Structure 1
Amino acid sequence: MSRDHRSFPVPDGLVGQRVDAALARMLGLSRSAILAAFDAGDVYVDGRPAAKGDRIVQGAVIDVVLPDPREVDATEDEPQPVPGMRIVHDDEHIVVVDKPVGVAAHSAVGWSGPTVVGALAAAGYRISTSGAAERQGIVHRLDVGTSGLMVVAKSELAYTRLKRAFRERTVDKVYHTVVQGHPEPTKGTIDAPIGRHPKAEFKFAVMADGKRSITHYEVMEMLPSASLVTVHLETGRTHQIRVHFSAMRHPCVGDSMYGADPTLARRTGLDRQWLHAVELSFEHPASGERFTVASEYPQDLQQALDVLRGDYG
């Protein structure tokens, strides 16, 4: 059976990105399909064999022979226990987890670490088979560096209804973050479009041509050098809270990617952004009743907050 051969110039917007990431974005390939193509030596850039981590240059042409889908392993996430991942709720239709830092929602190009999907598989959970192979059951995501609550669909009914609920913005997503300085006003809405950063891979920025992004916030506690803030997301763009507060010149404490003070991060002991998904509220996909779950701060965030509160002394 002949395989599908593709040849195309790379759009300017992907210049500087890794070859595997560019293929994923342009062709919508799964992680396993991309790995299979590279393993078979079937990816070329400007006529030369390419490695996954090679960077795209201006005017490059990619040639790729796509693997037969029947030859690609459909299991994207290796079952892998995740210490510290807590099951907050479990029923016939959904499972809610409290995700630790350093864990991705699902597998992705460039990520080989633990995932929520893999952890659930290791624990014997069967989740919805709807969606792309590497995202089955996943109806929303948290960044690797963000801890807190995630709901995963176990039934097809739950997957369909929760995807719709997130799309129609009927899910209430509440985060707590500690940001540098004191935002003014202390309560407000940030309505600023977010798009991919023009010069930095895996980074986002407020961009005139970005997607509409809305963040509602209120300062709960002012500290000498920072503020504890509650955030309600109306939209769910990648890195939305981090980008919006950075644009306000109040980056999340510890968030080096978006301009946080490294000295303050070291003093608080943080090696990630102070950001935690503390509450999820939505209509249960089976009963239709309002369902709410909450999470406490993990130890590293609580310790950092205690350090900042101790500045009063």
Structure 2
Amino acid sequence: MNEACASNIDPTIPIDQDAETLVFEVSAEAGSRLDANLAARLEDRSRTSIKRLIEDGDVLVDGRNAKPAHKLRMGERVEVDLAAVPISLTEFLPENIPLEIIYEDDCLIVVNKPAGLVVHPGAGVPRGTLANALAYHFQQLSTRGGGERPGIVHRLDRDTSGLIVVAKTEIAHEKLAEQFRTREVFKSYVALVHGHVPNETGRIDQPVGRDSRHRTRMWVVRGGRPALTLYRVRRRYERMTLLDVEIKTGRTHQIRVHLAWLKHPVVGDKLYGMGRDEGVPDVRLRIAISKLNRQFLHAEQLGFRHPLTGEQVHFTAPLPQDLTEFLATLE
């Protein structure tokens, strides 16, 4: 940690680590980098996790997303979503949670994550995550993402099921992460949305960032991070549309935000559903949505260059039983 930066932290500003949001106004620390400043304030968090926090849009400077290297200016207001900050390594323990392994070799693992399983620990979810399960089942995992995220290269939302690639070695992690950064990874999802999507194919190229009015949400915002979503209609139902969705970027809640922005929110999405679940006129279907108890979003396909061989590999995870049963109610 930069000692000079740490010494510039205003000691009169209290930090409540149990609060959902850390808010402070820049004073003595003016001129320091945003990432270094937060690393000094959140001493039990790794520099890597702080950088990821900023890049994921969980930090706002004067209500806007910022870059890790942003130089703080006097009077700027900084907001940090502490719920997104990973817990400290001292709290992290392996747990015997069953996993469905699609593929494994000496470099990587491909897991079919069930809905309801959080990918890694964070404030409010200290245990019971995919990361805890991985630490139990595998002796060798990359630590490049931080000790609380063993092998984790990318994420899926808690209530999104489907494919995740996990790195066993540091080199594999580095090469996979680079493919995600350069948008080489093929990521295709299946989403059931409300309403009749008018076109057979579509492109949503809108920036995504933290919604300043609702701290738990992301939204299409000016100054947000670039986000590109492509979709194709797989099947149409009377009041809903089944889509194949490909994302070229990996912003937090990207698919859910983009489809809600399009006025076709994902069925079962409690955060971005815009009340559409409750507004379904068919009582039987409303009950089915309530019983589903998750958003209808599944990471069905994942393709990338193998970090060791360089060969293109492709994996598929069919729709889980709860989603296929829900589709049957639409017939």
Q: TM-score, normalised by structure 1?
A: 0.77
Question: Are 1:89 and 2:100 an aligned pair?
Answer: no
Task: State how far apart, in whole Å, the 2-side matches of 1:120 and 1:286 are.
Answer: 21
The answer to whether the Cα contact below 8 Å between 1:107 and 1:134 also exists between their aligned partners in 2 is yes
1:192 alignment partner, one of 206, 218, 224: 206
1:278 alignment partner, one of 288, 300, 316: 300
Task: State how far apart, in whole Å, the 2-side matches of 1:144 and 1:158 are.
Answer: 25
Partner of 2:324: 302
Task: State how far apart, in whole Å, the 2-side matches of 1:291 and 1:154 are.
Answer: 17
Task: State how far apart, in whole Å, the 1-side matches of 2:292 and 2:262 are.
Answer: 21
1:267 alignment partner, one of 288, 291, 295: 288
Residues 279 and 31 (structure 1), Cα distance of their counterparts in 2 relative to 1, 3 Å cut:
farther
Question: Are 1:7 and 2:18 an aligned pair?
Answer: no
Task: State how far apart, in whole Å, the 1-side matches of 2:299 and 2:184 are.
Answer: 17
221-230 or 263-272: bigger deviation: 263-272
RMSD: 3.0
Partner of 1:79: 94
Ranges in structure 1 where 5+ consecutive residues have no aligned partner: 11-16, 35-58, 63-71
The answer to whether the Cα contact below 8 Å between 1:30 and 1:134 also exists between their aligned partners in 2 is no
Question: Are 1:27 and 2:38 an aligned pair?
Answer: yes
Q: Which amino acid aligns with 2:196?
A: H
Question: Are 1:156 and 2:170 an aligned pair?
Answer: yes
Partner of 1:249: 263
Residues 32 and 291 (structure 1), Cα distance of their counterparts in 2 relative to 1, 3 Å cut:
farther
Ranges in structure 2 where 5+ consecutive residues have no aligned partner: 24-33, 46-75, 80-86, 281-285
The one-character-per-residue Cα deviations of 1:267-308 (angstroms, maximum 9, x if unpaired) are 332211100000100000000001111101112211111112
The answer to whether the Cα contact below 8 Å between 2:134 and 2:150 also exists between their aligned partners in 1 is no
The answer to whether the Cα contact below 8 Å between 1:7 and 1:61 also exists between their aligned partners in 2 is no
Identity across matched positions, percent? 37
Task: State how far apart, in whole Å, the 1-side matches of 2:41 and 2:169 are.
Answer: 22
Task: State how far apart, in whole Å, the 2-side matches of 1:31 and 1:175 are.
Answer: 35
**How far is 1:20 from its partner?**
5.5
Task: State how far apart, in whole Å, the 2-side matches of 1:133 and 1:31 are.
Answer: 16
Task: State how far apart, in whole Å, the 2-side matches of 1:293 and 1:303 are.
Answer: 23
Residues 186 and 78 (structure 1), Cα distance of their counterparts in 2 relative to 1, 3 Å cut:
same
Q: Could you say what secondary structure the match of 2:153 adopts?
A: coil
Q: Which amino acid aligns with 1:77?
A: F
Q: Which amino acid aligns with 1:266?
A: I
Residues 61 and 305 (structure 1), Cα distance of their counterparts in 2 relative to 1, 3 Å cut:
closer
Residues 158 and 21 (structure 1), Cα distance of their counterparts in 2 relative to 1, 3 Å cut:
farther
**How far is 1:266 from its partner?**
3.1
- What is the aligned residue count? 267
Q: Could you say what secondary structure the match of 2:310 adopts?
A: coil
Q: TM-score, normalised by structure 2?
A: 0.73
1:130 alignment partner, one of 144, 161, 165: 144
**How far is 1:161 from its partner?**
0.2
Q: Which amino acid aligns with 1:151?
A: V
Q: Which amino acid aligns with 2:242?
A: L
Q: Which amino acid aligns with 1:267?
A: A
**How far is 1:134 from its partner?**
1.9
Partner of 2:193: 179
Question: Are 1:214 and 2:228 an aligned pair?
Answer: yes
**How far is 1:8 from its partner?**
6.5
The one-character-per-residue Cα deviations of 1:18-53 (angstroms, maximum 9, x if unpaired) are 73553898624899926xxxxxxxxxxxxxxxxxxx
Task: State how far apart, in whole Å, the 1-side matches of 2:169 and 2:89 are.
Answer: 19
Task: State how far apart, in whole Å, the 2-side matches of 1:251 and 1:30 are.
Answer: 37
Q: Could you say what secondary structure the match of 2:250 adopts?
A: coil
Partner of 2:59: none
1:167 alignment partner, one of 156, 177, 181: 181
Partner of 1:205: 219
Q: Which amino acid aligns with 2:152?
A: I
Q: Which amino acid aligns with 1:96?
A: V
